[in-house]
Homo-oligomer: A and B are copies of this chain.
Amino acid sequence: MTRVVALTPNPAWDVTYRVDRLLPGESLRVRSVVARAGGKGVNVARVVRALGSASVAVCPLGGPLAGPFADDLDADGQPAAVVPVAGAVRQSVAVVPAEDGGHPTVLNEPGPALDDAEWAALVAACVAQVGTAAAVVATVSGSLPPGTTRERVVGLVGALRAAGARVHVDVSGPGLVWAAEAGADLVKPNRSELVEATGVDDPARAVGELLRRGARAVVVTDGERGLTAYEAGPDGPASPAVVGRARLAAPVAGNPTGAGDAAMAALAVDPDQPWAHRLALAAATSAAAVLQPVAGAVDRADVDRLLTHVVTEPES
């Protein structure tokens, strides 16, 4: 069975405030406060476990909220490898109004920079978790700490591949291109991240750019329009070939936060399956995440049910 090592380079203590309504410039009473360990990699780790595979969440943690963060993972039964760092784990505050359809406003703190020794310790912790197991997928998800360089990202992906892991990357900004350059086995941007990272407006050409840089595969998510996987075509990486597509026959309504992380989890749990199978599981798991009120959760029964409503190319 595949084991997933899920790195969150810039974890967040996710705080949810329920308010009557959010009026800019006003002083508001928060009706309820819920807080939990978060960050995209933590979501991936949790969904991997919900799908029945093993995962470990790797997180740099420091500051006063490091203890509650680790305690929350522990209470959830989530195996974790914590790398102590000096900077304080950031908060991400979601303000959910009772009005306006409950659409949240999210305030994302930038998070702490890591020094060279801390980054090296983080890479070493990931490599140690890869260990000598036969089938390990290492995922890298979310924002990168402020000041993260190309050298660091290339070094991370290279070290994980050298240790024998497949490396899947879903990071925002230039880190996506750097991961491709380091030969990541899979990069998973959504449509807007794809354009933002490459600076290329046309999606097919932007995918070609990531493949040309060195990514082995690119999976582009596009909300309810589903997922498309690309690999280098017969004429080379700049002419990408669609190797699979999957979408739900009818979209589900709910909370889209964490849907991309659920897809990352599904793509990681069985990487030797054909693309149609992997993409179908990703589409169903992503939709199952939309049905949950919080990110990082799916109900396995929802995944199984939704799998029967997935349309794939080629048929799975």
Q: How big is the A interface, by class?
A: 20 to 34
Interface string of A295-309 (1 = CB under 8 A from B): 000000000000000
Would you give the shortest CB distance from A170 to chain B, in whole angstroms? 16
Give the nearest-CB partner of A97 in chain B: B24
19 contacts between A and B (CB under 8 A): A15-B91, A19-B107, A22-B105, A24-B100, A24-B105, A25-B103, A25-B104, A26-B106, A27-B106, A27-B108, A28-B105, A28-B106, A30-B107, A33-B110, A64-B64, A64-B65, A64-B67, A93-B93, A95-B107
Whether B17 pairs with A107 at a CB distance below 8 angstroms is yes
Q: Using a CB-CB cutoff of 8 Å, which residues 30-76 of chain A contact chain B?
A: 30-31, 33, 64-65, 67-68
**How distant is A29 from chain B, measured CB to nearest CB, in Å?**
6
Would you call A115 an interface residue if the criterion is a C-beta within 8 Å of the partner chain's C-beta atoms?
no
| Contact among B26, B33, B109 with A30 in the assembled complex (CB-CB below 8 Å) | B109
On chain B, the residues within 8 Å of A93 by CB distance are 93, 107
CB distance from A86 to the nearest CB of B (A): 14
B108-A29 in contact (CB<8A):
yes
Known A-B contacts A30-B110, A93-B93, A110-B30; the reply to A25 vs B64 at CB < 8 A is no
The number of times this chain is found in the oligomer is: 2
3 smallest beta-carbon distances between A and B, as pairs = A27-B106, A25-B103, A64-B64
Taking A28-B107, A28-B108, A33-B90 as known contacts, 6 extra A-B pairs with beta carbons closer than 8 A to each other, sorted by chain A number, are A25-B100, A25-B103, A25-B105, A27-B108, A29-B110, A30-B110
Interface assignment of A23: CB less than 8 Å from any CB of chain B = yes
Q: Nearest chain B CB to A9's CB is how many angstroms away?
A: 16
Complex alpha-carbon distance, A197 and B31, angstroms: 21
How many angstroms between the C-alpha atoms of A24 and B91 in the bound complex? Answer: 18
- What mask results when residues 261 to 278 of chain A are scored 1 for a CB within 8 Å of chain B, else 0? 000000000000000000
Cα of A91 to Cα of B95 in the assembled complex, Å: 14
Partner of A24, one of B24, B65, B108: B24
